[in-house]
Amino acid sequence: MAEQLRLMAVHAHPDDESSKGAAATAKYAADGVDVLVVTCTGGERGSVLNPKLDRPEVWENIATIRRAEMDRAREILGVRQDWLGFVDSGYPEGDPLPPLPEGCFGLMDPDEAAAPLVRLIRSFKPHVITTYDEEGGYPHPDHVMTHKISMVAFDAAGDASRYPEAGEPWQPQKLYYNMGWSRKRMMALHEAMLEATGESPYTEWIKEWDDRRDVTDRVTTRVPCGEFFEIRDDALRAHATQVDPDGFWFAVPLPIQQKVWPTEDYELVKSLVETRQPEDDLFTGVR
């Protein structure tokens, strides 16, 4: 293509862009693709998951801190980033679940909440968009709403009759869901860790695994990006309030990951160009 390729990755919170598809976006950015991360909320109701930072002054300034963390992660990944400005819903827990807080992203009308995303699509003009599946990847209300507005915006952005105030129409060519944790991937890493060390961080996870939620058969596209796993991990560590640098997410050494599963995986769900599956490139049919 004569014009520069453009990729938009839509995420719910600051840190999601570094834990879902981060190596692939870093790879594309390094290859000259213009990559824009869209962050729907500010993560204002997120927890402090790093015990080293679980302090009152951190909790009191969590919104400001998370924006600064996002700035650093964006620099590490080599991407652009924009905020939609919605308010974090928090993750409801308990039985029965408590109601979501008034005014939060998870309670928005999807058609209304899609408007700023349509505006961004029309201004940035992405060829490809990535987002979450119908369950949000996991059932956080902000992740589910991110899915909903992405689906609305993908279809509406190219329709001049919808959101006429949001700029000139632009129709993205492909839409993908992030498919981060399939059983096949988890088992491959689990077995490699047992062989290498006799222990695996996934042992308990496998015991509790629900095969009804497995996405193995949904993966259509595996993007080779193992050489960018270190950048991915550095970006995730930049979200210092959200991840323990000595914890679960960094338990498998990079050489094992790069050997056993050197890709990040996606499901192609909408395409306006001809393509053949399986793919190894989000821009197959667009280039």
pLDDT of residue 274: 95
pLDDT of residue 211: 84
Sheet with 263-271: strands ordered across? 80-86, 34-41, 6-11, 128-131, 174-178, 263-271, 221-224
| 17 CA to centre of own chain | 5
Under 8 Å between Cβ of 186 and 248: no
Whole-angstrom distance, CA of residue 82 vs CA of residue 65: 16
pLDDT of residue 102: 96
pLDDT of residue 108: 98
pLDDT of residue 175: 98
- DSSP assigned state of 63: H
pLDDT of residue 248: 86
pLDDT of residue 2: 54
Secondary structure of residue 12 in the 3-state scheme: coil
pLDDT of residue 213: 84
pLDDT of residue 95: 85
pLDDT of residue 264: 98
- Name residue, tokens 């998370």: 66
Under 8 Å between Cβ of 50 and 240: yes
pLDDT lower than 50: segments of the chain? 1
pLDDT of residue 34: 98
The crossing angle, in degrees rounded to 10, of helices 115-124 and 141-156 is: 50
pLDDT of residue 169: 98
